[in-house]
Amino acid sequence: MDDRDCSQTRSVELAFEAPDGVPDFLDLSGFRTQEVKQVEHMVAVRGAYGVSPPSCSQCEAVHFEVEKVDDWLVWDAPRFGIYPTIIQLLVPIFHCLACGRRFQVQPPWLDDSSVAAEDDKRPPRPTRTSRLVTYIMDRMTTMTTFAQIARDTGYSEDSIKAVFEKRFKAWDAERGKDLPRAFEIDETLHKYGKDGGLVTLIVDEENGHTVDVLPDRDNSTIARRFFEAENRNEVEYVGMDFSGPFRDVATKPLKPQKEMPTEEDKPELFDGVEMVEYVVDDSGESSESTRALPGAQAGGDNFHLSKAMEDALTDVRNFVANSLSEKYLDEELAKASPEDIAGMGEEAFQAEAKAKADKRVSERISDLTKRRLWLSPRPENLSPGQTIWVQDVLSEFPLLKAAYELKNEGLEITSKKRKKKTPDEVRAGIEHWLGSFEESSAGSFFSRPRNILTNWKEELVRSADKAINTNKVESKNGLYKLRIRMCRGVSIETMRAFMVWADAHRRTNRWPKVCGGVKSMTARQYFEFLDSRPDQQ
Ligand SMILES: [Zn+2]
């Protein structure tokens, strides 16, 4: 052994030179492409990792030789973003002439965590490249599904799910539990088939990112999440629709309960969370009760107030439409003189009056339905033709007129159309509306808006003043429901990962690091990109 020339042994001849004319298809360091085959829309690349180690990995001797060649099957990110790519990777097994042991050199671009099961006593080896992982995490920032990525990569749906969930969990743990200074909270329905239930969404008021998805909407669940935030003292505003439980848990003292729920019922998302139950302590702060967000104020939501006003007007419109038959029949009957009735005969006269009334009813209902949206805008925003119609309808139906006026006054309370209302103006507006409500003949239809304005006065004032609302959480709510429909049977935990990851990593108009779609590039940029690729020269 001693008489061997180290320098010769070290430059082990790796007979992995690419045949003439085969381009470096994969652009991976140390990888020599030997063969590229296209099968259907997939690309299979055979090649070798031709990097010789500096010394034996066991004894650091420099005398070794290639004993044989191992082949690994490795999934790669789709080449050029469109061709699912699998690599038959030839990796030399070196035999150390000093210690007699065998060793391999693993390419640095493989994902270490993707170790295949040990089958035939050979050491476990990776099954995917690191850039496939990057590709998957990148794709998960958009509205996609595991099934779609599986189609695009050839990699299995289960493996893609596992990659995403593992990376997300690590990132999520690192990110911690801090809450934004202002956030919005709302419930949404996590439903697939006949199963499902309510979950709670927490969305950052400032940037609209999903902060968290809680597996139900219980007070205790929300309270525990708040208590987990190290910065819970810094939360200032929580926007919500008019939900009493959300307001209680965000702003009232909470008292921990003795009884804990059984461990068996515990959803996976509660792993590592102490399952303390909390109840709202209305009796004033006792020694054991405390606020989860000591500095937080609740903000109401103009949108839901406006909607409650509109709904009340709709109820009145429907009520009016339903009473039309009687009203129009009475009118038709009143038109006739006793002589007319005698001339026609009582029965025939009744039938004709009824027919006329029915015709008018159906025309009026169709008219009211068709033009109902003209009752929504403030009167000064209507066109002259619309104004005439609205005035005509309102003069015919005094109850609808009363409701219309109450609705318009209600929309005006927090309206910023002319100029932003001061808190005092909002308060005064609420008081005035409540007075109008008492006097209005349509008041009985407006009990929901009345309750909101009575119970959520200060929240509405804050909402108008600080722009705390639920706009962003409402939009996430819609997105959540859409994603559930895209991925049937998806768990709450996975949905949470989708929403939080996508929001935190969303970016626009940037060429992805690995590969990806071309939609954000101009045609010129795309051809410049093609020209700049080394393997195209
Ligand atoms: Zn050795």
Separation of CA 103 and ligand 1 centre (Å):
9
Q: Please give the average per-residue pLDDT across 339-351, as a whole number.
A: 79
Q: How far apart are CA 368 and CA 381, in angstroms?
A: 19
Residue 319 CA neighbour count, 13 Å, CB half: 15
Distance 30 CA to ligand 1 centre (A): 23
What is the whole-number distance in angstroms between the Cα of residue 59 and the centre of ligand 1?
Answer: 4
| Dist. CA 105 → ligand 1 center (Å) | 13
Torsion of CA 14, 20, 21, 27, to 10 degrees: 20
Amino acid at 368: L
Locate 402 and state its tokens.
């009363």
Q: What region does 335 belong to: left with phi over 0, alpha with psi -120 to 50, or beta? A: alpha
- Averaged confidence pLDDT in the chain: 84
User: The dihedral of CA 168, 170, 175, 179: what is its sign?
Assistant: positive
Q: How far apart are CA 135 and CA 462, in angstroms?
A: 44
Ligand 1 centre from 53 Cα, in Å? 12
CA 68 to centroid of ligand 1, rounded, Å: 16
Give me ligand 1 centre to Cα 72, in Å.
Answer: 23
Distance 31 CA to ligand 1 centre (A): 25
Report whether 217 contacts 245 (CB < 8 A).
yes
Whether 279 shows a pLDDT value over 60: the answer reads yes
- Percentage of residues in the chain having pLDDT higher than 90: 47
pLDDT of residue 350: 83
Q: In whole angstroms, give the CA distance from residue 25 to residue 534.
A: 10
Distance 90 CA to ligand 1 centre (A): 22
Q: How far is the CA of 95 from the centre of ligand 1 (A)?
A: 8
Spacing, Cα 107 to ligand 1 middle (Å): 20
Record the pTM. Answer: 0.79
Which among 328, 391, 313 has a CA at the least distance from the CA of 362? Answer: 328
Strand runs labelled E in 274-395 = 278-280, 290-291, 297-299
**CA 50 – ligand 1 centroid, Å:** 19
Please name the residues in contact with 272: beta carbons below 8 A apart, sequence gap of 6 or more. none
H or E stretch at 359: helix 346-370
Q: Please give the distance, rounded to the nearest whole angstrom, from the Cα atom of residue 61 to the centre of ligand 1.
A: 5
Gap from CA of 49 to ligand 1 centroid (Å): 21
d(Cα 139, Cα 516) in Å, to the nearest integer? 8
Positive or negative: CA dihedral 414, 420, 426, 428:
negative
Ligand 1 centroid–CA 247 distance in Å is: 69
Give the distance (Å) from ligand 1 centre to CA of residue 16: 23
Separation of 109 CA from ligand 1 center, angstroms?
A: 25
**487 Cα: distance to centroid of ligand 1 (angstroms):** 52
pLDDT of 439-449, one tens digit each? 999 999 999 99
**Cα of 56 from ligand 1 centre, angstroms:** 5
What the block records as the tokens of 13 is 């001849």
Distance CA 218, CA 463 (A): 24
Residue 5's pLDDT band, with cuts at 50, 70 and 90, is: very low
Tokens of residue 123, six digits: 């050491």
- What token pair was written down for 78? 């789709």
Encode pLDDT of 135-150 as tens digits. Answer: 999 999 988 999 999 9
- Ligand 1: distance of its center to the CA of 328 in Å? 104
More confident residue, 359 or 535: 359
Q: Rounded distance, CA 341 to CA 345, Å?
A: 6
Helix (H) or strand (E) holding 485: helix 471-486
For ligand 1, the distance from its centroid to the CA atom of residue 4, given in whole angstroms, is: 15
What number is the average pLDDT over the span 282-311? 85
CA of 124 to the centre of ligand 1 (A): 20
How remote is the CA of residue 63 from the centroid of ligand 1, in Å?
Answer: 8
Q: Which residue has the higher pLDDT, 24 or 437?
A: 437
Of the candidates 481, 508, 509, 499, the residue with the CA atom closest to the CA atom of residue 208: 499
How much is the average pLDDT of 475-502? 91
The distance between the two most distant Cα atoms of the chain, rounded to a whole number of Å, is 138
∠ CA(300), CA(301), CA(305), 5° rounding? 110
